[in-house]
Amino acid sequence: MSLLEIDGVVAGYGRGPDILRGVDLTVEEGEVQCIIGPNGAGKSTLLKTIAGLLRPRKGRVVFQGEVLNGLRPDQIIRRGIAFLPQERSLFPDMTVLENLRMGGYALEDKSLMSERIEEAFAQFPILKERYKQKARTLSGGQQQMLVMGRALVLRPHLVMLDEPSLGLAPQIVAQLFEIVRGFKDQGMTVLMVEQNARQGLNCADRGCVLDLGQRVFDGPADGILDDPRIQELYLGTQKKAETS
């Protein structure tokens, strides 16, 4: 049994059209999986649906054998799935430390909180230096560190990251993918969406291509990197499916 199984999921916003048009996907325990695909393919929509921010119209999301359909986001995170959305979801008027404490909001055993925060500080010393500062005063790279640090406080079973490298300077991007590998080494499973397809796949064990609301390919990450058709369609001079 896979850790996460997505079966024929159809989803969309409000009364709008179906954005996901029957997605099938599996995530195995302990892997880093990277989803790539053109803009507007529905990658973010898929992660939001798994996280419970959107309800599937059809199909099933199954995590560790439990159907998650219809659960609220705060219930899903307590099942062990954390979601780091594309827009850096910080609390701008809270301090760095308070933001980290919010990361542990869903922690069942609160006595772990301070230990986990220390661990996050150890991994991101810059956060320790700035622990009293409001999150809004951090640079883009530091804000992303804070979001990652917050995930470390919870130690979820599965971490979903939506375009973590977006808007970061190249040298920070390399560092970021190392951190993502670090999540795996610390026993977490990772499902990541990346526009930065080559680097994302390089960091991943397995890859998957999403286009027009459907999975069009999946396999080992290096296989995808080497596949000439995928290179042409999705990795080359980033073709974009136009969205209006």
Ligand X SMILES: Nc1ncnc2c1ncn2[C@@H]1O[C@H](COP(=O)(O)OP(=O)(O)O)[C@@H](O)[C@H]1O
Binding residues vs ligand X (CB under 6 A) = 13, 16, 19, 37, 39-45, 243
Residues 40-79 that bind other proteins (CB under 8 A): 51, 53, 72-74, 77-78
Q: Which residue, 43 or 206, is less far from ligand X as judged by CB?
A: 43
Q: Is 44 in the site for Mg ion (CB under 5 A)?
A: yes
Provide the H-helix boundaries in the chain. Answer: 43-51, 73-78, 96-103, 113-123, 125-129, 140-154, 170-185, 197-203, 221-226, 228-230
Are the C-beta atoms of residues 135 and 91 closer than 8 Å to each other?
yes
Give the side-chain half-sphere CA count within 13 A for 219.
Answer: 9
| Sheet containing 189-193: order of strands | 81-84, 158-162, 189-193, 32-36, 206-211, 214-220
Residues 126-155 that bind other proteins (CB under 8 A): 150, 154
For residue 138, what are the contacts with CB-CB under 8 A and spacing of at least 6?
Answer: 96, 130, 146
Q: Which residue, 2 or 86, is less far from Mg ion as judged by CB?
A: 86
Q: Binds 89, which of ligand X, Mg ion, other proteins, none (CB < 5 to 8 A, cut-off by type)?
A: other proteins
Q: Binds 209, which of ligand X, other proteins, Mg ion, none (CB < 5 to 8 A, cut-off by type)?
A: none
d(C-alpha 120, C-alpha 126), whole Å: 10
Q: Is 189 in the site for Mg ion (CB under 5 A)?
A: no
Residues 88-127 that bind other proteins (CB under 8 A): 89-94, 98, 101-103, 105-106
Taking residue 144's Cβ as centre, other Cβ atoms within 10 Å add up to 26
Q: Which residue, 81 or 168, is less far from other proteins as judged by CB?
A: 81
Least Å distance, CB 200 to other proteins, is 21
Contact residues toward other proteins (CB under 8 A) are: 14, 51, 53, 72-74, 77-78, 82-85, 87, 89-94, 98, 101-103, 105-106, 150, 154
